[in-house]
Amino acid sequence: MNNTCTCAPELKEKEKQDGIKELKEFIKEHKLLHDKQGALMTVLHKVQEIFGYIPREAMDVVSESLGVPTAHIYGMATFYNFFSLKPKAKYQISVCKGTACYVAGGARLLERVEEELKIKLGDVTPDGLFGLSITRCLGCCGLSPVIQVNEEVFVRLVPEKIPAILEKFRKQEKKTK
Amino acid sequence: MYKMIEAKINGITVEVKEGTTVMEAAKKVQIKIPTLCKHPDLPPSAACGLCIVKVKGSNKMFRACCTPIEDKMEITTNDPDIVEVRKTVLELILSNHPNDCLKCGRNSNCELQSMASDFGIREDVFKKFLRDIPQDSTTGTIVLDPTKCILCGRCIEVCQKGQDVWALSFLQRGMDTRISPAGDIKLSESPCVKCGQCSAHCPTGAIFEKDDTRLVWEALKNADKYCVIQIAPAVRVAIGEAFGVVGKNLTKKLYALFRRMGFKAVFDTNFGADVTIMEEAGEFVERLLHNKGELPLITSCCPAWVDFMEKFHSDMINHFSTCKSPHEIVGTLSKTYYAEKNGIDPAKIYMVSIMPCTAKKYEITRSGEMFASGFQDIDVTITTRELSRMIKQAGIDFLNLPDEEADGLLGEYSGAGVIFGATGGVMEAALRTAYNIVTGKELEDVNFIKTRGLESIKEAEIDIKGTKIRIAVAHGLSHVEEVLNRVRQAKKEGKELPYHFIEVMACPGGCVGGGGQPYNVTDALRLKRSSAIYQDDKDKELRCSHKNPYVKKLYKDFLGKPLGEKSHKLCHTEYKARPIYIR
**Residue B182 in contact with residue B580, Cβ under 8 Å?**
no
In this predicted model, which residue has the larger pLDDT, B235 or A97? B235
What pLDDT shows up at residue B393?
96
Q: Which helix (H) or strand (E) holds B62?
A: strand B61-63
- For B174, which residue in chain A has the nearest alpha carbon? A79
**Residue B256 in contact with residue B402, Cβ under 8 Å?**
yes
- Edge-to-edge strands, sheet with A152-154: A130-135, A91-96, A147-149, A152-154
Q: Which helix (H) or strand (E) holds B176?
A: none
Residue of B169, B172, B183 lying closest to A3 (CB–CB): B172
- How would residue A49 be classed by pLDDT, with cut points 50, 70 and 90? confident
The three-class DSSP label of residue B68 is: strand
Please give the Cα distance from B393 to A16 (Å, whole number). Answer: 58
Please give the Cα distance from A21 to B128 (Å, whole number). Answer: 48
- How would residue B56 be classed by pLDDT, with cut points 50, 70 and 90? very high
What residues contact A148, with CB distance under 8 A and at least 6 apart?
A93, A94, A96, A135, A138, A154
List CB contacts (< 8 A) between A79 and chain B: 170, 172-173
Closest by Cα among B2, B385, B8, B357 to B195 = B357
Whether B170 and A6 lie within 8 Å, measured CB to CB: no
Give the DSSP per-residue string, B70-118: -TT-EEE--SHHHHHHHHHHHHHHHHTS-S-GGG-TTTTS-HHHHHHHH
Please give the Cα distance from B168 to B160 (Å, whole number). Answer: 7
Q: State mean pLDDT over B303-330.
A: 97
List CB contacts (< 8 A) between B171 and chain A: 74-75, 78
Give the DSSP per-residue string, A130-143: EEEEEES--S-GGG
Please give the Cα distance from A76 to B169 (Å, whole number). Answer: 10
Q: How many helices (H) and strands (E) does chain A have?
A: 7, 4
Question: Under the phi-then-psi rule, with left for phi > 0, alpha for psi from -120 to 50, and beta for the rest, what region is B466?
Answer: left
Instruction: Measure Cα distances from B463 to B285, B466, B490, B498 in Å.
Output: 14, 6, 22, 15
- For A55, which residue in chain B has the nearest alpha carbon? B183
- For B169, which residue in chain A has the nearest alpha carbon? A71
Residue of B168, B172, B173 lying closest to A71 (CB–CB): B168
- How would residue A85 be classed by pLDDT, with cut points 50, 70 and 90? confident
Please give the Cα distance from B249 to B110 (Å, whole number). Answer: 26
Q: For residue A82, is pLDDT > 80? A: no
List CB contacts (< 8 A) between B181 and chain A: 71
Residue of A56, A59, A71 lying closest to B167 (CB–CB): A71
**Residue A165 in contact with residue A149, Cβ under 8 Å?**
yes
- How would residue A3 be classed by pLDDT, with cut points 50, 70 and 90? very low
Quick: pLDDT tens for B255-294: 999 999 999 999 999 999 999 999 999 999 999 999 889 9
Report all structural domains of chain B as residue ranges with CATH numbers, in order of start: 4-78 (3.10.20.740), 99-209 (3.30.70.20), 214-571 (3.40.950.10)
Interface pTM, i.e. ipTM: 0.83
Whether A6 and B171 lie within 8 Å, measured CB to CB: no
List CB contacts (< 8 A) between B184 and chain A: 4, 6
Whether B173 and A70 lie within 8 Å, measured CB to CB: no
Quick: pLDDT tens for B318-353: 999 999 999 999 999 999 999 999 999 999 999 999
Whether A78 and B181 lie within 8 Å, measured CB to CB: no
Q: What percent of chain A stands above pLDDT 70?
A: 93
b/e per residue B98-118 (b: at least 16 CB within 10 A): eeeeeebbbeebbbbbebbee
The full set of domain ranges for chain A reads: 13-79, 91-176
**Catalytically active residues of B, by annotation:** 280, 283, 301, 321, 360, 363, 369, 511
Whether A4 and B181 lie within 8 Å, measured CB to CB: no
HSE of B465, CA atoms in CB hemisphere, 13 A? 14
What residues contact B42, with CB distance under 8 A and at least 6 apart?
B154, B157, B158, B162, B201
Residue type, B477: L
- Relative orientation angle of helices B251-261 and B384-394, to the nearest 10 degrees: 60
Closest by Cα among B194, B432, B228 to B327 = B228
Instruction: Report the residue of B170, B178, B312, B478 to disrupt the A interface, i.e. the one with the largest count of A CBs within 10 Å.
Output: B170
What pLDDT shows up at residue B173?
85
Residues from B contacting A (CB-CB < 8 Å) are 160, 166-173, 176, 181-184, 190-191, 581
**Residue B155 in contact with residue B200, Cβ under 8 Å?**
no
Whether B169 and A71 lie within 8 Å, measured CB to CB: yes
- How would residue B489 be classed by pLDDT, with cut points 50, 70 and 90? very high
Q: For residue A12, is pLDDT > 80? A: no
Q: For residue A10, is pLDDT > 80? A: no
Q: Which helix (H) or strand (E) holds B288?
A: helix B269-290
- How would residue B167 be classed by pLDDT, with cut points 50, 70 and 90? very high
What residues contact B512, with CB distance under 8 A and at least 6 apart?
B234, B237, B238, B356, B421, B422, B526, B529, B530, B533
In this predicted model, which residue has the larger pLDDT, A160 or A29? A160
Q: State mean pLDDT over B482-509.
A: 96
What residues contact A17, with CB distance under 8 A and at least 6 apart?
none
List CB contacts (< 8 A) between A56 and chain B: 183
Q: State mean pLDDT over B26-48.
A: 95
What pLDDT shows up at residue A11?
60
Give the DSSP per-residue string, B301-358: --HHHHHHHHHH-GGGGGGB--BPPHHHHHHHHIIIIIHHHHT--GGGEEEEEEES-S
Q: State mean pLDDT over B21-32.
A: 96
Whether B176 and A74 lie within 8 Å, measured CB to CB: no
Instruction: Measure Cα distances from A83 to A48, A87, A158 in Å.
Output: 6, 10, 32
Closest by Cα among B412, B401, B430, B435 to B540 = B412
Q: Beta-carbon neighbour count of residue B461 at 10 Å? A: 11
The bridge status of strand B74-76 relative to strand B52-55 is: antiparallel
Question: Using the 8-state DSSP alphabet, how is residue B403 labeled?
Answer: P
* CA geometry: angle B348, B351, B354, nearest 5 deg: 160
Please give the Cα distance from B487 to B470 (Å, whole number). Answer: 12
Quick: pLDDT tens for B543-573: 999 999 999 999 999 999 999 999 999 999 9
Q: What percent of chain A stands above pLDDT 90?
A: 53
Closest by Cα among B89, B56, B382, B335 to B211 = B382
What pLDDT shows up at residue B491?
95
Closest by Cα among B165, B206, B211, B167 to B186 = B167
Four-residue CA torsion sign, B535, B539, B544, B548: negative
Whether B181 and A72 lie within 8 Å, measured CB to CB: no
Whether B160 and A74 lie within 8 Å, measured CB to CB: no
Four-residue CA torsion sign, B530, B532, B533, B537: positive
Tell me the nearest-neighbour CA distance from A13 into chain B, angstroms.
18
- For B167, which residue in chain A has the nearest alpha carbon? A71
Residue type, B129: F
Give the CA dihedral A25, A29, A30, A32, nearest 10 degrees. 130
Q: For residue B448, is pLDDT > 80? A: yes
Each as own residue / partner, the long-range contacts of residues A119-126 (CB below 8 Å, 24 or more positions apart, any chain) are: A120/A2, A121/A1, A121/A2, A122/A1, A122/A2, A122/A3, A122/A5, A123/A2, A123/A5, A124/A86, A124/A87, A124/A88, A124/A89, A125/A89, A126/A9
**Alpha carbon B367 to its chain's center:** 21
Question: Using the 8-state DSSP alphabet, how is residue A124 labeled?
Answer: B
Residues from A contacting B (CB-CB < 8 Å) are 3-4, 6, 56, 59, 69-75, 78-79
Q: Which helix (H) or strand (E) holds B179?
A: strand B178-180
Residue of A3, A71, A74 lying closest to B176 (CB–CB): A3
Lowest mean pLDDT among A123-132, B90-99, B232-241, B443-452: A123-132
3-state secondary structure A14-39: HHHHHHHHHHHHHHHHHCCCCCHHHH
Q: State mean pLDDT over B149-178.
A: 94
Q: Beta-carbon neighbour count of residue B127 at 10 Å? A: 7
Q: For residue B493, is pLDDT > 50? A: yes
Write down the CATH superfamily of domain A91-176.
Glutaredoxin (3.40.30.10)
What pLDDT shows up at residue B67?
96
Residue of A56, A69, A75 lying closest to B170 (CB–CB): A75
Q: Beta-carbon neighbour count of residue A22 at 10 Å? A: 15
Q: State mean pLDDT over B130-156.
A: 96
Mean pLDDT of chain A: 86
Please give the Cα distance from B36 to A168 (Å, whole number). Answer: 55
Q: State mean pLDDT over A23-27.
A: 92
Mean pLDDT of chain B: 96
What pLDDT shows up at residue A89?
84
Lowest mean pLDDT among A44-48, B81-85, B240-244, B451-455: A44-48
Instruction: Report the residue of B168, B171, B198, B312 to disrupt the A interface, i.e. the one with the largest count of A CBs within 10 Å.
Output: B171
**Alpha carbon A45 to its chain's center:** 13
